[in-house]
Chains A and B, each alone.
Chain A
Amino acid sequence: MKRDSQFEFCRRQLLLAGAAYFVLGASHSGATVIYDHLPWTPNAGNPPPPATLGPWHFFTGDEGRTVEALADRIIPPDPDTPGGKDSGCAVFLDRQLAGPYGRQDGLYLRPPFLKGARNQGHQSDKGPAQQYREALAALTKSCRAKFGGKAFSDLSDADKDRVLEDLEKGKLELDGADGKAFFDQLVKDLQTGFFADPIYGGNRDMVAWKMIGYPGARYNYLDWINRHNEKFPLPPVSLTGRAEWTRAER
């Protein structure tokens, strides 16, 4: 299946997600003996690779449509700022689920998996990728049963919101999935994508940062530390600068 082929191990992407891995024997993770001088090597840095545009990496077409519809209700468009869909939050989530986050890379996954108290944390061998897959399927099933065969993305905005409210309140049980947990994770992941650096696929053209007045990946506010209650005048920059500097349009 297409999505499985996306689970290839790309070292760069692994490192990006924070896996300074003990199982992989590449340059930065190999054991070294250090003496006499600092062990600096040229070009050893590890910048994040930008999320590529184009087809879904993880979602099926139907899943993608559902998530875009969810994204646009959780972060609705308004006259000043695009919503979750156009700002790329579904793309962000797709790339995250296709990567180390979706796979639970680096987490402790030894058995037994016992049910514990909520404050003992997530106890499952299922990672976010699999949980999303199951929950999205269950959501579609539930919507089709309730709304005369319609999928979530085909519902009216009011019906979409009602589904989301029911999930949030734990009133809508999903088949084989924890509806409330899915909802909390979904909101968190989409809002994360909205505010993360655009390099990860969401927050396209820094729309979220412009909306709140966050100047982005700047590094020096020495001139501003003592200027109180004055609006910081510069527009945001991202890790790749500003979109208009690097390409005509996205």
Chain B
Amino acid sequence: MTTRLPKKDVVIIGLGWTGSIMANELTGEGLEVVAIERGPWRDAPTDFPPTYMQDELRYRVRHELFLRPEQLTFTFRNKMDQTALPIRSWGAFMPPNGVGGGGVHWNAEMWRFLPSDFVLKTHLTERYGASFLPDDMTIQDWGITYDELEPFYDRFEYLCGTSGTAGNLRGQIMEGGNPFEGSRSRPYPTPAQAQPFSHTLFGKAARELGYKPFPQPSGNLSQAYTNPLGMKMGPCTYCGFCEWFGCSNYSKASPQTTILPYLVRKPNFTARDNSEVIRINLDRSGKRATGVTFVDTSGETWEQPADLVILSAYTLFNVQLLLHSKIGRPYDPVAGTGTVGRNYTHQTISTVNGFFDPKKFNFNPFIASGAIGMCIDEFNGDNFDHGPHGFVGGGYMGQVQTGARPIESTLVPPGTPKWGAAWKSAVKENYLSTVKPGTGVHGSFYAYKDIYLDLDPTYSDRFGRPLMRITMDLKENELKQNRFLTDKFAEIIKAMGASKLDVQYRKGPYDITTYQTTHLNGGAVMGSDPTTSVINRYLQSWDVPNLFVLGASAFPQNAGYNPTLTVGALAFWAATAIRTKYLKSPGRLVDA
């Protein structure tokens, strides 16, 4: 039995980063908005208070704040001729769940993409010629430029209070910032965070090698900040329990700290938690969404009618809901037709651990924040000549160590036994003098013909719907890119004074069991051509114009940066298009 609820102007699927931004923008227009969130309401006093939040076993190892695969998971294979098997427990990535989405437990590393990233296909073809790109690579331009997005990058940074040092202020290169970044209209809202010892050493070593190191832009705030909505955030205390954890301190930018307390007080906003949307409903023409159907945790089914549907459920769930709702044409890599599920990508991550002489170095590595770090950008995007190297893409790299929680951060130098007396004494000896950058090399991941999402023929979820199938591998281009970047990174760690290095290249095949990042992209990409994109440049569905799809599912391929600043900027950009264009005359904003 389905209970039909009174109609709203807008229904939002998922109250994470993008859902919160959109809810706030559209309630600002006077619309009646309801947001439906799969997981529970979450806040600092209840879910991650300072009395017991610092619990590595609970939050990191058993990942308390995340979705349970029992509720929903995916199947995975490397190649099209393999049988995909279900991801029974999370590994390569960790899907968020609950109000605030990934914003609750992200690091808050807040990067802008390069101007050339948005016109990638055009840029690379012009510079290197089309034959430089692998045959099966399906990269494309975004249909939007950096300059168009800049004001919205700025808005998201000022919403979050982002701490950083500008590198390019209105076209002028600034000392101490990232000289490769696109021009920004304003400095960062707050100055960069202070840096612990090892991060500072990385900066020094990089400078001496001729690079231009700069502090990583951070949503862990260097000082108190009041955002444009009047939300007040406190300074980060470098507690070292940031990513995987919620911030008890109101210092990490999240929907909870930057939007929700303001949004909830608006009379035209309602949220429903513990309610999973299972379908976007269409009218008989199939061209108009009529609302959504959701099931709450007691098993009851509800229908929420609405004039406008915002799909903001995170990359994988966005694509999965489009497939289950039969919106758009599923991608078929053999026939080369369809778009939904096409150009799925991840991030090419690797690291180098450095072991230093404990008599000379004490890093107090537990003192850090989620987005701390000194980085260089010389090897990102097309900031260097790829001609001699035979690959495209790149990434930033840096000492971005976020703490030293001991279950994960008790490393021993290569060659040490993994257990026993020798292991134990090596752990004791090295803990305070080891550099463990984590995602030290943060490389791009470009799109390929046979890396995609579709529905699995065998496995199903608790409603009997097919699971979504991930076909994903690391291609030679990404592996080459990673070898090149990791070697450069190792040189810097060595120059810091490390006596031993543990160089951990990213190797193929893609492994679903080891965590890389939760930067999943594509599958419902934006663009200017409906035969190669699911949504137009305003994130509006080509097929169902009263549906907008937010999130990194829109990325045609992934750049060598973390996604969320771009994801948030695109949400503001889409909201502005809805406010200024769509509401005046609801319908397609771009002619197909």
Contact = CB atoms under 8 A, between A and B. Distances in A.
Contacts of B239: 218-221
Contacts of A187: 418-419
Contact of B88 (A100, A107, A199): A107
A230 B260 CA distance: 40
Given A45-B45, A78-B424, A229-B361, A123 B85 contact: yes
A155 B459 CA distance: 47
A32 interface: yes
A221 B57 CA distance: 21
Contacts of A45: 45-47, 49, 51-52
A17 interface: yes
B76 interface: yes
A34 B41 contact: yes
B431 A213 contact: yes
A250 B361 CA distance: 35
Interface stretch (B63-71, B132-140, B150-158): B63-71
Interface stretch (B163-171, B308-316, B402-410, B569-577): B402-410
Interface in A33-47: 33-41, 44-47
A76 interface: yes
A217 B97 CA distance: 25
B264 A35 contact: yes
Interface string B237-262: 11111000000110000000000110
B152 to A, nearest CB: 27
A120 B512 contact: yes
Interface string A61-100: 0000000000001111010010000000000000000001
Contact of A197 (B56, B264, B425, B509): B56
A32 B237 contact: no
A208 B409 CA distance: 13
A225 B367 contact: yes
A239 B54 contact: yes
Contacts of A228: 196-197, 200
B55 interface: yes
Interface in B13-72: 39-41, 43, 45-47, 49-58, 61-66, 68-71
A192 B71 CA distance: 27
A181 to B, nearest CB: 12
Interface in A102-118: 104-110, 112, 114, 116-118
A16 B77 contact: no
Which of A100, A208, A219 has the most chain B CB within a 10 Å cutoff? A219
Interface string A6-19: 00000000001111
B438 to A, nearest CB: 17
B88 A119 contact: no
Contact of A212 (B52, B260, B410, B459): B410
**Interface of chain B: mostly helix, strand, loop or mixed:** loop
B85 A121 contact: yes
A239 B364 contact: no
Contact of B298 (A25, A74, A200): A25
Interface in B206-265: 235, 237-241, 248-249, 260-261, 264-265
B511 interface: yes
B504 interface: no
A222 B237 contact: yes
A101 interface: yes
Contacts of A123: 85-86, 88
Interface residues of B, number: 100
A73 B420 CA distance: 6
B460 interface: yes
B270 interface: yes
A209 interface: yes
Contacts of A159: none
A25 B296 CA distance: 10
Interface string B473-498: 00000000000000000000000000
Contacts of A78: 421, 424-425
B145 interface: no
B4 interface: no
Given A28-B40, A123-B88, A214-B404, A110 B459 contact: yes
A117 B432 contact: no
Contact of A34 (B61, B68, B264): B264
Interface string B268-299: 01111111100000000000000000001110
A31 B296 contact: yes
Contact of A114 (B69, B83, B297): B83
A209 B509 CA distance: 37
A74 B420 contact: yes
B366 interface: yes
B366 A108 contact: no
Contacts of A22: 68, 71, 274, 276, 297
A150 interface: no
A121 B87 contact: yes
Contacts of B275: 31
Interface in B387-433: 404, 406-407, 410, 418-421, 424-425, 427-428, 431-432
Contacts of A24: 297
A123 to B, nearest CB: 6
Interface string B70-83: 11010011100011
A30 interface: yes
A43 B267 CA distance: 27
A221 B361 contact: no
Contacts of A19: 68
Contact of B43 (A16, A38, A231): A38
Contacts of A214: 366, 404, 406, 431
A245 B267 CA distance: 49
Contacts of A18: 58, 62-66, 68
A161 interface: yes
A224 B364 contact: yes
A33 B270 contact: yes
A154 interface: no
A195 interface: yes
Contacts of B88: 107-109, 121-123
A221 B404 CA distance: 13
A29 interface: yes
Interface in B333-373: 361-364, 366-367
Contacts of A38: 43, 260-261, 264
8 contacts: A18-B66, A40-B45, A107-B69, A195-B406, A214-B404, A217-B55, A219-B54, A230-B362
Which 6 pairs across A and B sit closest by C-beta, in order of nearness? A31-B296, A106-B68, A18-B64, A212-B431, A228-B197, A217-B54
Interface of A: 16-25, 28-41, 44-48, 73-76, 78, 81, 100-101, 104-110, 112, 114, 116-123, 161, 164, 168, 187, 191-192, 195-197, 199-200, 208-209, 211-222, 224-226, 228-232, 239
Given A119-B512, A239-B55, 7 more contacts: A30-B274, A35-B269, A38-B260, A104-B89, A108-B87, A122-B89, A225-B196
Interface of B: 39-41, 43, 45-47, 49-58, 61-66, 68-71, 73, 76-78, 82-89, 91, 97-98, 194-197, 200, 235, 237-241, 248-249, 260-261, 264-265, 267, 269-276, 296-298, 300, 361-364, 366-367, 404, 406-407, 410, 418-421, 424-425, 427-428, 431-432, 458-460, 509-513
